[in-house]
Amino acid sequence: MADTLRLTISVRSQGHTMPLKDGTVTLDGIEFEFIEVEPQIAAYRRMVRDLEFDVCELASTTYYIARSHGAPYTALPIFFERKFHHTGLVIRPDAGIAHPKDLEGKKVGVRAYSVTTGVWTRGVLQNEYGLDCSKVTWVVDDEEHVAQMSLPSNVVHAHDGHSLADLMAAGEVQAGFTANAGIGRAGPPTEGWAASAKPVDSYPELIPDGKVAEAQWYARTGILPMHSTLVIRDEILAAHPDVAPKIYNAFLQAKEIYLARLRSGEASSKQDEDRRKLMKIVGPDPLPYGLASNRPSIEALKLYAEQQQLMARDVPVAELFIDEAGF
């Protein structure tokens, strides 16, 4: 149809996005051209630096930072990944670290200072365990997505040619984030990046009872950390006021299809199993959408980003997210 709005979009293939990608869920008057990027982290950078897509899954902290610098896109309260952060930071057994405050005076490896996992974890360690993050040296081995941001003086780059995994093994850093956030990979995000994963099982967790602490923290705060959100270019939102509700409702419909498969046991990947475990803590929807239900998480990440000197200016929540209640 001549009046069909065609939009480029980059999102990961997951249980709650596949009904859109395979055509089970369609949008009236809108046609998505899905651009596959592997890993999706590379799409974050392409969106932030080159505004390459009309609609894009974007790391939540990256989005907050970019928006504080005037980025011309706005997020819907749709979130693709949820994960707690009392776990995922490991230590060298010989580093003399028995409590989060023992990280003060130490070096900790994280892929980039603004990595959302790092921001959530530092926020937890500062606000729950009393860590002074300014007394930790954060060692990074990749670029920040938002090129305009300025790094605090206690952020340093790894030696040329040395990965965080190498530095951890040599004792040059005493703690590090696992998986893609730190010592579980090497180099900037490129295709095949995951194949360079490094084993980290030999390092103990900073918080040994982290899983228990995560459940208790959620019960007390209602914060369910989000990792990525969905942004739409402002010029499209301005020209087509019906785009935001149509996209939001389509993603919501796709998620409901996935949740039914998750609850029935039909969805059975490792990621699906992890989400079923999450449901035991947070209830029947481990991927809540909507501004009201996510406000504690949205505001917590905003506070942590501000505490960690990531934001160029204060950005009200109303400027960050479109409220679906107004559709």
The pLDDT tens digits along the chain (327 residues) read 458 999 999 999 999 999 999 999 999 999 999 999 999 999 999 999 999 999 999 999 999 999 999 999 999 999 999 999 999 999 999 999 999 999 999 999 999 999 999 999 999 999 999 999 999 999 999 999 999 999 999 999 998 778 899 999 999 999 999 988 998 877 677 766 655 555 566 899 999 999 999 999 999 999 999 999 999 999 999 999 999 999 999 999 999 999 999 999 999 999 999 999 999 999 999 999 999 999 999 999 999 999 999 999 999 999 999 999 999
pLDDT of residue 161: 77
8 A C-beta contact, residue 86 and residue 247: no
Q: What is the pLDDT of residue 160?
A: 79
Distances (CA, A) of 52 to 4, 77, 172, 207: 20, 21, 38, 40
Q: Show the tokens assigned to 35.
A: 């651009």
CA 118 to chain centre: 9
Phi, psi at 74, each rounded to 5°: -130, 150
Tokens of 133: 């993050």
Q: What is the pLDDT of residue 186?
A: 73
From the list 304, 278, 276, 282, the residue with the least C-alpha distance to 222 is 282
C-beta separation of 203 from 90 below 8 A = yes
Please report the pLDDT score of residue 185 as a whole number.
78
Sheet with strand 155-157: strands edge to edge: 89-91, 175-177, 107-109, 137-140, 155-157
**Phi (first) and psi of residue 243, to 5 degrees:** -65, -45
Report the alpha-carbon distance of residue 299 to residue 282 in Å, rounded: 18
Residue type, 3: D
Radius of gyration over alpha carbons of the chain, in Å? 20
